[in-house]
Structure 1
């Protein structure tokens, strides 16, 4: 790497703790909208299948619903390139305003889309369209909120600040899970399948408006403002990422595969898995999922505090080792089919996932220099999510249908954990501390 591509030094201007807290909150709120949107879709997958793909048998309808879920993730890299370019060239703030507005609007639109019984084939077509709008905006949201939050962090708390992006993701999933569970508790099964499922999607617009209000009041990060006053070595951020930062991009993809497969498997797909493979009611599975997310939110900052002291590499190795050893026994525990075994399995999963949840954001964000960071992180993250994480519910459903084994999704998780382990052992040696100090 030549001198013109080295990371830009951190700006020395004074940033108050109050500004930092508002920056973290503003960055987190949009990420919360993203994960709320995707969680609600995944949690209501069985009902969405019945409303938009009613002419298929239940398994085929569920596969179609998850296929739409998975296919929309392939739009995310396009959003990452589009929003990343403007974020690196013109600033993080305005791009983050656009992404949260688009996500909120698309979520409400899904809630208002008539079913197949009302408008025929136009219903699944509109569902696909709005899911693609969500995915396009989400392609710039996660990476933007990660960059924004980490760039506001003090040097000795970069993992802790970055962890709040993951906490907000869990919070969005939790709010979605609780909203879905509440809808199930307060309505009949018939009403839930007919119209009550739409309420959580419409409520997503309220969170989006709150995100717009919070983000409109903040400035761009000190690091970005400093970089703007210096010569621009990269005219096209995307071209520079592929020319000069291929190894950094591959490392970010590897770490993201482990986190995204884990989080989509256990926070989005697991309630559907429990409903279709055990006798536990969907409402109970959603409540257990909510408890899992609370545990995850509590443990992630503690993992991040530890990473600020020892670096991320050791925690990522521990995550990979624990997941490889424990994932099959935990699936077997869930397969016992009692409410207690299901909840215990979910909570133990959360404890393991917290290790990567507390480290992934800062580890991947600080691999890239400021002038290509939004694009580099966005493209790497969304390639991993499109190819592995977002497809986890579809692949898991297909694996069970093809093999007949309810344990088959566990081996997909082991594959993802193995990738993280290899990246941590070999590629991150000496890099995690350097990345956090840039």
Structure 2
């Protein structure tokens, strides 16, 4: 089925990119800010004398948010394929706001006991459900606004929005870290950071209401059902999960785990992890759209391959460098180097995973492979990394997890044909 985007002029397309990107950044900000304050949240909501146990529970709660992603991918993805991309994105934003509200108002474990971590987990489950449907709907809508020679560039703005949310979260963390004491951060500062994301949700909803639709609602269940997806596109589903696996593990190890590792294990100051996140986000904001444009010219598979091979080769020596030096400067250098290749990979890999599915199952297919890849391999990467160090006694063990999943992800590239420049199905 032809999309509606072909009838819109360039001005409308630019406005749509801005609208989707801003809304996406606001939605992912609520998800990203948890990582910024993960260690602090662990001390407030998870009892126990062992720092290791607290950290594991904190990362487990972070990972729980990914358990509901596949469910959100199926429910919201099917809704987007049947009724349009815009109403699906409207729904995901409202659900994300609800999950964040639970974080803002939930008292600590010391105040209400076991109900506190239960409510925090509930908030994460709701957020995960929302994010599960967001990526497929928003990326699909961006791509359907593009012509065959610019889909990589258009689709990359979804990842730009995610990077923007990381930068906003890091910036808020830096400002609050400068202005507030540790006691104030623990008392109300981290809640204020989440409240900021909640307060701008109405603005994001307003933006999304004005977006022109790219796929007319037809509501035909037989055209966009799970049966059609699983029976017709098993190879694409497997390839998409494998491709997602390598990227998501790399992202969570470098952009999330390294920051918390620096604080909890290397005992670097809280500000060091925030600066690292800020630096990584800055690199991605610059390179993600460029990488999308590059993939339009030379192909998605080439860009993804030559971004992932350096990640596989560099992660272990750089991780060892961080562990041995335990300095802020080394942490920042390592994150800078790795972030370059993460940025080159991000946009083209997601666009590739969307292009391998036809229009009537595209939002569902992309949402599902992304959510499964993240849930199975990325969401619990921080917990797995922490457990590997405890199990092996090797502080560099998390790098091996990234190496193994990175190598396996290259198999996914072999299962699909090049999609750049080809008409969308």
* Cα deviation digits, residues 365-406 of structure 1 (max 9, x gap): 111111111111111111111101111111111111222222
Map of 2:285 onto structure 1: 297
SS at match of 2:48: coil
Map of 1:3 onto structure 2: none
Map of 2:128 onto structure 1: 135
Aligned-pair CA distance for 1:435:
5.7
Superposition TM-score, scaled by structure 1 size: 0.92
* Cα deviation digits, residues 136-157 of structure 1 (max 9, x gap): 1111111111111111112211
CA distance, structure 2, for counterparts of residue 47 and residue 347 of structure 1: 25
CA distance, structure 2, for counterparts of residue 320 and residue 297 of structure 1: 19
From 301, 310, 323, the equivalent of 1:313 is 301
Aligned-pair CA distance for 1:249:
1.1
From 251, 256, 260, the equivalent of 1:263 is 251
Map of 1:104 onto structure 2: 97
Map of 1:375 onto structure 2: 364
Structure-2 change in CA distance of 1:313 and 1:436 (3 Å): farther
Higher mean C-alpha deviation, range 313-322 or range 22-31: 22-31
Alignment: residue pair count: 424
CA RMSD of aligned residues (A): 1.9
Aligned-pair CA distance for 1:333:
2.5
Higher mean C-alpha deviation, range 414-423 or range 374-383: 414-423
Map of 1:432 onto structure 2: 419
Aligned-pair CA distance for 1:235:
4.3
CA distance, structure 2, for counterparts of residue 60 and residue 372 of structure 1: 42
CA distance, structure 1, for counterparts of residue 139 and residue 49 of structure 2: 40
Contact 1:324 1:417 in 2 (8 A): yes
Contact 1:30 1:145 in 2 (8 A): no
Map of 2:88 onto structure 1: 95
From 99, 119, 127, the equivalent of 1:126 is 119
Map of 1:282 onto structure 2: 270
SS at match of 2:420: helix
* Cα deviation digits, residues 273-301 of structure 1 (max 9, x gap): 11123242111221122012101211112
Structure-2 change in CA distance of 1:58 and 1:347 (3 Å): same
CA distance, structure 1, for counterparts of residue 175 and residue 238 of structure 2: 41
Contact 1:396 1:409 in 2 (8 A): yes
Structure-2 change in CA distance of 1:15 and 1:58 (3 Å): same
Contact 1:97 1:216 in 2 (8 A): yes
Structure-2 change in CA distance of 1:263 and 1:250 (3 Å): same
From 242, 245, 258, the equivalent of 2:230 is 242
Contact 2:42 2:58 in 1 (8 A): yes
* Cα deviation digits, residues 389-438 of structure 1 (max 9, x gap): 111111111111222222111111112211232222x213x333376654
Aligned-pair CA distance for 1:208:
2.0
What are the equivalent positions in structure 2 for 1:138-153 lying under 5 Å apart? 138-153=131-146
CA distance, structure 2, for counterparts of residue 148 and residue 48 of structure 1: 35
Map of 1:157 onto structure 2: 150
Aligned-pair CA distance for 1:307:
0.6
CA distance, structure 1, for counterparts of residue 66 and residue 267 of structure 2: 31
From 163, 171, 175, the equivalent of 1:182 is 175
SS at match of 1:278: coil
From 44, 48, 61, the equivalent of 1:51 is 44
Map of 2:375 onto structure 1: 386
* Cα deviation digits, residues 317-374 of structure 1 (max 9, x gap): 1122111111111112322122211111010010111121130221011111111111
CA distance, structure 1, for counterparts of residue 408 and residue 41 of structure 2: 33
* Cα deviation digits, residues 171-202 of structure 1 (max 9, x gap): 11111111122211211112112221111111
CA distance, structure 2, for counterparts of residue 324 and residue 12 of structure 1: 38
From 201, 213, 232, the equivalent of 1:220 is 213
SS at match of 2:285: helix
